[in-house]
Amino acid sequence: MSKNILEADFLNKMREIINYMWEKGWDERNGGNVSYRLTEKEVKDYVDTEKIKEKFELEAAIPGLAGEFFLVTGSGKYFMNVSKKPENNLGIIKINQDGSGYSLHWGYENGGQPTSELAAHLLSHQARMQVTDNQNRVVMHTHATNLIALTYVLELNSKTFTRKLWEMSTECLVVFPEGVGILPWLVPGTEKIGEKTAELMKKHPIVIWPFHGVFGTGKSLDEAFGLIDTAEKAADILVKVNSMGGANKGITDQEFKDLAARFGVEPMAGVLE
């Protein structure tokens, strides 16, 4: 631990991406939260991991994440302030050896704790680590405007939502062939919404919370942001198309199949005829 954390690549990437989210208009006030799984080596270059600022218990233990480090946004912290004052708005936590709690090693300088959606983040990390051979490092929750708007008009099931988004932009099938998962409306900030989100994360890299927002995942901050940005762009187009009276043409099932074959992806079962 000798280097200045304000020069760490992982911290600066987090600041940059959170700024993009804010500029997109997705993260009003403290809306949204991001967690980034770091390696012990990355953290140790900048933080004394022997020093514990505070300890917290988890509502339910997550032994699968024992010993893992996460850079995570603080609860109630405004996205517009993260880049200017990362030390107040972000924290680095380590899950303890039995997964029953975690320790804070850096951040939340003016007080605070990780996001109220920590259960959804940690359980989603665990699920995605299992299905991506440990590749997945980022979970991102945001209040993407058009995806939320669509939850008021589209049928709330995964197949309908996936098909509608795929239809709005040719790249969608290639970027998220596994489709989007949809939960029923649930109270946010609870263990239950965390468990339900993680269950869907075993099948989909992106999960929508109706009338609230979206959870996206990826190997990197770029990938998680890019995934949500792609789905949100398709949602934006669908809102415009619906506002113009609805589509009168589009990509056919055969064309979707040709697209999947060209890019070597397996479309989510049951979406195409």
Q: Which residues are catalytic?
A: 117
End-to-end CA distance of the chain: 56
Q: How far is the CB of 186 from ligand 13P (least distance, A)?
A: 11
Distance CA 253, CA 52 (A): 55
Q: Give the range of 72-80, 162-170, 207-215, 229-237 binding Zn ion by CB under 5 A.
A: 207-215
CA distances from 272 to 108, 189, 243 (A): 47, 35, 25
Is 125 annotated as belonging to a binding site?
Answer: no
116 near ligand 13P, judged by CB under 6 A: yes
Distance CA 221, CA 21 (A): 11
Is 121 annotated as belonging to a binding site?
Answer: no
Distance CA 134, CA 65 (A): 11
Distance CA 58, CA 66 (A): 12
- Give Cα 146 distance to the centre of its chain: 16
Interface size with Zn ion, residues (CB under 5 A): 1
Distance CA 10, CA 222 (A): 12
Distance CA 147, CA 164 (A): 11
Q: Give the range of 17-25, 42-50, 73-81, 86-94 binding ligand 13P by CB under 6 A.
A: 73-81
75 near ligand 13P, judged by CB under 6 A: yes
88 near ligand 13P, judged by CB under 6 A: no
Q: Give the range of 27-35, 104-112, 131-139, 170-178 binding ligand 13P by CB under 6 A.
A: 27-35
217 near ligand 13P, judged by CB under 6 A: no
Q: How far is the CB of 74 from ligand 13P (least distance, A)?
A: 7
Segment 170-189, which members bind ligand 13P (CB under 6 A)? 188
Annotated binding residues for Zn(2+): 141, 143, 212
Which positions touch Zn ion (CB under 5 A)?
213
Annotated binding residues: 141, 143, 212
